[in-house]
Structure 1
Amino acid sequence: MLLLMAAILLLVTALFAGLWWHEKRSNADARELSAGAVRELTREGLLGRGQTLSSQLADAATNPMYYMDLATLGELARATLRQPDVVYVIIHDADGQVVHDGSGDIPAFGQPMSDPMAFEALNADGVHAQWSSKLLDVAAPIRIGGQRIGGVRVGLSRDNATARERDVLEPLAQRLQAASNEHLVGLLLLLGCLVLLGLGATALLQRRIVQPITGLAEAAARIEQGRYAEVDVHSDRRDEIGELVRAFARMSEAVARHDRDIRRMAYTDSLTGLANRLAFRESLDERLLTMQASSGELALLFVDLDDFKRVNDTLGHEAGDDVLGQLAMRIRLAVERIGGNTAEIARFGGDEFIVLYLAEDIRSASGRLAEELIEEIQRPLLLHGRQVFLGASVGITLFPFDATSAGQLLKNADIAMYQAKLAGKGCYRFYSKAMDQAVERRVRLEEELRGAWERGELSVHYQPIFRLADGRLMGAEALCRWDHPRLGVVPPSVFIEVAEQSGLIEALGRNVLQQACRDAASWSQPGQEKPFVSVNISPRQLRTGDLPDVVASALRATGLLAEQLHLELTETAVLGDEVQASALLSRLRATGVKVWLDDFGTGFSGLSHLRRVPVDGVKIDRSFVADVLRDPDDLALTSAIIAMAHSLGITVVAEGIEAEGQYEVLRERGCDQGQGFWLGRPMPAPEILRNFAE
């Protein structure tokens, strides 16, 4: 009997040991499955965020990187640095040298990246991720037209992800351990039970613990695959396993919500609520596949705000964001009113919007939509109690007539928009094949213009300016000339516009100012009134705000007296931001430098503005002088300008005097000075010097 009892006890003990081992294995499997699932989820989540951030930053930095716009690159880097878990942002050029890291003074600017991950990041063809024990480094190239011009790197800390893993896994382990201990007590109480009770306990354990944990592991696998809709875990149990299931359900909902938030961030413009570039590109690809299958037609409208930078420069970036928000709402309402529910709108970046539009007779319909958009944008905006006026230029390209791929359509629309800008802004243009050639010529001309001054191709000529009362030579206007070795003489109207749009005008303007001051310093003759030189200043030079310092530096370097320098600014450039312009011009005039308004009478301002803008002279536009002998209205307007300017103590200069009759009429009306081909054509520096010496 004892042997039988011992055998039974041994059998029950073996059964207990087997059940206990099975439970331990199940708990271990559950912990491993859950830990692996949670770890993979957090890793994939962090990787997905890193890839999204680096791709968005690379797309947004393309144009600023091409133009080396450090201010915009800094804004993009700092915006990315503000994202959760981001510890560093590096924007580099194609050689791996740092262009911006989001800091204020960019201490690493121009230095090569030397960290262990730099080599793979620099040589990656696409988005490339590298892991270390503490960091995730995600790199993405910046390309224009297939050519790599640089790249971005975003470093994300793994600390938060590791902490989230620990926060999820520690309670899981504790609950599993608690459940295991509870069952151990139960099993100890059942040591005296029969084998059938032990088998029943084993079956109960399998059903109550292993199956729920297996269900959680299967749900974790679905979450890992992104199949959130298929995850359905719930439990009415009030024990630890029920708590575990409910905790897992809450975690699943949180992960799914986080995924939705990431997708919304990746596909939505946070400022306007419109689709962003990435979402629009995917939508466009889908539409094109549908159109190609159904032989449909669509239009792509590229909307770019005119002179939006002036809003940011004068009112601040917060005001600029407010303006973009209001205009985005206007664009959306206009598109819904004209285009219905089939149209799609996206903010393409900065002050650029893009509209995908489907309609019958697509060419005329898209033209009407463009007119409506321009009209809506031109309506005044109320901002901080003041009215703001903006315009828009729209480029339109049509599928399948102009192109069949998304990339080419976007390029065509951008080219057409640029042509609308060249046409005077506030209008729209349809893409045509000829535009490609025009853009290519402009790009080549811009490339040739870079370094043209250093190569000696650019020079300064001078057109004499005479006092009309006695015909005395008083000074000369400095005019830039470009003699290209292959293209020949390039008209100023062509290359000055290219310089303005590319930003080269600032360096070119400084060089012309320095050269003009240096030449004019040699014109003075003993016993004679000191002659002056007038230099044209571009609107872009005026907007930078450092014009007084540039002028002062040129005067110091050349020894020219301040009163011998006249600066010519167009009427529209001065009045575009009257407050800032008045402040700058007042600083210049305080040093003795004279300020003239060029092309006076062609702007929208009117003579009343002369009382508020500090100027010393106005130059009557040549269009009035040309018809002063034939058109009584031009003669009357010219006389009125002279009289009004004299009443304000302002000197009047007439441009474009090409006949003796014009000279006589202007002298009779009291015009102070004049210039034109009849008086003297532009000439090189040595020739104008001889004229002053005579």
Structure 2
Amino acid sequence: MRRLGSGMQARFVLAMGGAILVVVAILGVLLGRQAATQREVTRLSGTVIHELFDRSTRSRGEAIARELADALVNPLYYNDLEQVGALVRNSARQDAVGYVLVFDTEGRLLHDGSVEVPGYGRPMTDPLAAGAVSATGARVQESHDVLENSLPIMLGKQRLGGVRVGMALEQVQALEAQASQGLAQRLEQVGTRHLGWLLLMLGLLAAIGVVVIVYVQRMLVTPIRGLAMAARQIEAGDYQVPLRENDRDDEVGELVRAFARMRDAIARHDRDVRHMAYTDALTGLTNRLAFREALDHRLMAARASGHRLALLFVDIDDFKRVNDTLGHEAGDEALLQFVQRISDAVAQAGGDEALLARFGGDEFVILLGEGDAAVQARALADVLVRELGKPLMVQGRELYMGASIGVTLFPDDAADATTLLKNGDIAMYQAKMAGKNCYRYYSRAMDHAVERRVHMEQELRGAWERGELRLAYQPIFRTRDRRLVGAEALLRWQHPALGTIPPSVFIDVAEQSGLIEVIGPKVLRAACMEAAQWPRSVDGEGLFVSVNVSPRQLRGGELPSLVAQCLLESGLPAARLHLELTETAVIGDELLAAQLLDKLHRTGVKVWLDDFGTGFSGLSHLRQVPVDGVKIDKSFVADMQRDPDDLALTTAIIAMAHALGITVVAEGIEQQAQFDLLCQRGCDLAQGYWLSRPVTATTIVQMIEKGDGGD
């Protein structure tokens, strides 16, 4: 028995030892398999996480650069560095954005988001600068610590500069390492817990070991491999990848639920990025990028079906004046009111397939393609002109702005999106030239007109410095004795190649281009200098000089200080300077005009209202905008003899102006009969070719010295 017992025990020990060896062997194999699986999962997850972060960083950098490039067009065009800085700082505050740089066409830094911009105006010298400056489109550059997206800032075909958005790879890599480390720690925890479970099963039979292996395979490896497969689908852009129902409360269940939350978060982030990239933040309308993509698709469909499309390019008239005088909050409020009116008009006359987008600061585009596009475009343009011409109430003020609209058709006017948009812009510009608050259809003749206008604008720059611009003076006489009492300063342009260019042509170019803000102060200063040298007349009076003031100069708010400076430099008495403003310059915002004119009156300068009667404002505005004199427009004077209505209106203007204590000046007198009619009705002053043609400053002096009373 003892031997049997010893033998059974030995056999039992041997069996147990063998079983233990088998279990240990199985355990060793299982542990090896688990370690390999864990390494594979860690490697796959690390690769996926890296690719996700890399793709997200590139996509986000590109989206920020494109959005910023679109938003910077208007501020950069108007050199609004404050708005540029605000946009740059908003973008630079986003996560993982290392820097945001805005530069001009020469590669000089315009803004970096800082308050003082220490590198302003200096060329950028970093290794990536050359590539960014020379890029004609979107460009991605990468160094060991930054991923840079650069885009040129374009206004049409004109390059205004560019923007560089650098994504800090160090931050991205830190986030990536943190995510990978977290996932690895979770996997390690899960592996450790299962290892402890397997060690507890060490004394069980091999069958139990097999069961454990199967359990581990089903409960751990399979879910993680499913997550890895889902991660690949997410990487490919499929954010709707389904995950198995998971009610487990262990780490794997937590991991699966965390992965599901991460999937949903990435999907939301993708939607948000797309929304920001394709939607205007202020108005909620489709933005330039989304509209351009939609336009390309519509053009492809129209080519295939042979349908016509109509594009309306809408630009709010004088919108910059609202921002400059009332502030950007008021500008945003006015813009939103315009958007609502445009949206209502499109809903009323644009059809179900109409597409409305905000194309720039105060520019909108509407694409029509339902039914007869040309007829629909005309109907919509009529509605827009009517509705947008109505006054707006902004911060308790009634503002009149209106909109200029350009209409172009596909395929009649253009065969591609770029040309169609360019033609719409040209037609809109012609609507502004026609007096604003109207619409014009594109025609090929407009291209030549735009080219001529651009050429004239280029020639006008520097014309004063080259001596091509000079002052002439239109003498002004007192009607009761035909005594010379003053002169109106007129600007003349003698071009060396084009000859004499009429003021009606180049003054309009200067107004539209903004050059009048440069030329106007020079004219005022020169007129004051020359008038200060005029001798006194024979009766001891000093002649006044009247100078036309552009609406842009009035709206800028700097006119009183400019006038004071010119009077100080020239020594001309303030009472001998008369400023002439048009009716339309003061109608838009009478409160602002009244404040500026009050400042001018306090200096002793007199203010006249030029071209009176053509602005449809009536004499009621004279009660709110204080002026010293009105000029009856020459169109009324020319028809006084033939048109009883013009004669009656002229008579009424003189009588009502005198009742208000306002001096009346008649211009454009070309016949003695006109002069006699005006004298009979008590007109105070007169000017015109019948009395004297425009003369030089030297001739004015001669006329004063000999007491000339006109021709």
Shorter-chain TM-score tier: over 0.9
3-state SS of the aligned residue for 1:229?
Answer: coil
Q: Using the aligned pairs only, state the percent identity.
A: 57
Q: Which residue of 1 aligns with 2:448?
A: 437
Counterparts of 1:523 and 1:173, CA distance in 2: 92
How many Å apart are 1:380 and its aligned residue? 4.0
User: Corresponding residue for 1:191?
Assistant: 202
Identify the residue that residue 293 of structure 2 maps to in structure 1.
282
Contact 1:413-1:431 at 8 Å conserved across structures: yes
Is 1:485 aligned with 2:499? no
Contact 1:126-1:141 within 8 A present in 2 as well: yes
Q: Post-superposition shift, 1:5?
A: 5.8
Matches within 5 A, 1:197-596: 197-525=208-536, 528-596=540-608
Q: By how many angstroms is 1:356 displaced?
A: 1.0
- Does residue 683 (structure 1) correspond to residue 695 (structure 2)? The answer is yes
**627, 632, 636: which is aligned to 1:620?**
632
Contact 1:234–1:249 (CA<8 Å) still a contact in 2? Answer: no
Where 1:187 maps in the other structure, the secondary structure is helix
How much has 1:410 moved relative to structure 2? 0.8
Q: Aligned partners of 1:231, 1:485: CA distance in 2, in Å?
A: 76
State the AA in 2 paired with 1:138: N
C-alpha contact (below 8 Å) 1:52/1:266 kept by paired residues:
yes
Computed over aligned residues only, the root mean square deviation of the Cα atoms, in angstroms, reads 2.5
Q: From 642, 649, 662, give the equivalent of 1:650.
A: 662
Find the aligned partners of 1:690 and 1:17 in 2 and give their Cα distance.
119
Contact 2:537 / 2:705 at 8 angstroms: preserved in 1? no
CA contact (8 A) 1:99 1:109 kept: yes
The alpha-carbon distance between structure 1 residues 82 and 683, as it changes in their structure 2 partners (threshold 3 A), is farther
Task: Give the CA deviation at 1:199.
Answer: 3.7
**Bigger Rg over Cα:** 2
TM-score w.r.t. the length of structure 1 is 0.94
2:614 corresponds in structure 1 to 602
Aligned with 1:676: secondary structure? coil
For residue 304 of structure 1, give the secondary structure of its aligned residue in structure 2.
Answer: strand
Q: 1:461 to 1:80 in 2, by over 3 A?
A: farther
Please report how far the alpha carbon of residue 383 of structure 1 lies from its aligned counterpart in structure 2 after TM superposition.
4.0
Cα 1:685–1:672 change in 2 (3 A) is same
Report the Cα offset of residue 107 of structure 1.
4.3
**Counterpart Cα distance in 2 of 1:105 and 1:591:** 37
- For residue 140 of structure 1, what is the aligned residue in structure 2? 151
How far 1:92 sits from its partner (Å)?
A: 0.8
What SS does the corresponding residue of 1:649 show, helix, strand or coil?
coil
1:464 offset after TM fit, Å? 1.0
Partner of 1:660: 672
- Contact 2:399–2:589 (CA under 8 A) maintained in structure 1: no
Structure 2 residue identity aligned to 1:401: D
Deviation readout 1:170-194 (Å, 9 max, x if unpaired)? 5433332221121111221222334
Q: Which residue of 2 aligns with 1:670?
A: 682
Shift of 1:417: 1.1
SS in structure 1 at match of 2:620:
helix
Deviation at 1:138, TM superposition (A): 2.1
1:692 aligns with 2:704: yes
Q: Does 1:172 align with 2:204?
A: no
Contact 1:301-1:396 within 8 A present in 2 as well:
yes
Q: What is the rounded CA distance, in whole Å, between the counterparts of 2:192 and 2:120 in structure 1?
A: 60
1-side partners of 2:60 and 2:428: how far apart? 34
Aligned equivalent of 2:137, options 117, 122, 126:
126
> Aligned equivalents of 1:258 and 1:301: distance in 2?
34
CA contact (8 A) 1:233 1:249 kept: no
Residue 281 of structure 1 deviates from its aligned partner by 0.8
In structure 1, which of residues 129, 151, 154 is the aligned counterpart of residue 162 of structure 2? 151
1:601 and 1:378, CA in 2 relative to 1: closer, same or farther beyond 3 A? closer
Is 1:77 matched up with 2:105? no
Asked if 1 retains the 8 angstrom alpha-carbon contact of 2:316 and 2:402, the reply is: yes
Q: Tell me: CA distance 1:475–1:103, structure 2 relative to 1, closer, same or farther (3 Å).
A: farther
In structure 1, distance between residues paired with 2:533 and 2:15: 128
TM-score (norm 2): 0.92
What is the count of residue pairs matched by the alignment? 694
Residues 219 and 233 of structure 1 are in contact (CA less than 8 Å); yes or no, is this contact kept in structure 2?
Answer: no
**Which amino acid is the alignment partner of residue 172 of structure 1?**
L
CA distance in 1: counterparts of 2:59 and 2:24, whole angstroms: 52
Cα–Cα, structure 1 residues 392 and 291, in superposed 2: closer, same or farther, change >3 Å?
Answer: same
Structure 2 unmatched runs, 5+: 1-10, 707-711
Deviation of the 1:7 alpha carbon? 5.7
Where structure 1 has 5 or more consecutive residues not aligned to the other structure, the ranges are none
User: Partner of 2:643 in structure 1?
Assistant: 631
- In the TM superposition, residue 54 of structure 1 has moved relative to its aligned partner by 1.1
Question: C-alpha separation between the residues in 2 aligned to 1:607 and 1:631?
Answer: 21
Distance in 1 (alpha carbons) for counterparts of 2:97 and 2:279: 20
CA shift for structure 1 position 207: 2.4
Q: Which moved more, 1:517-526 or 1:286-295?
A: 517-526
Q: Aligned partners of 2:93 and 2:192: how far apart in 1? A: 46
Query: Mean alpha-carbon deviation: is it higher for 136-145 or for 488-497?
Result: 136-145
1:41 counterpart = 2:52: yes
Q: C-alpha distance in 2, partners of 1:286/1:233?
A: 38
Q: Is the 8 A contact 1:222 1:231 kept in 2?
A: no
Alpha-carbon distance in structure 1 between the residues aligned to 2:66 and 2:426? 24
Is the CA contact 1:598–1:618 (under 8 Å) kept in the aligned structure 2? Answer: yes
Q: Secondary structure at the match of 1:414?
A: helix
For residues 570-625 of structure 1, give each alpha carbon's deviation from its aligned partner in whole angstroms, at most 9, with x where no partner exists.
Answer: 12212221111111111111111111111112222221222222222111111121
CA distance in 1 between partners of 2:340 and 2:272 (Å): 23
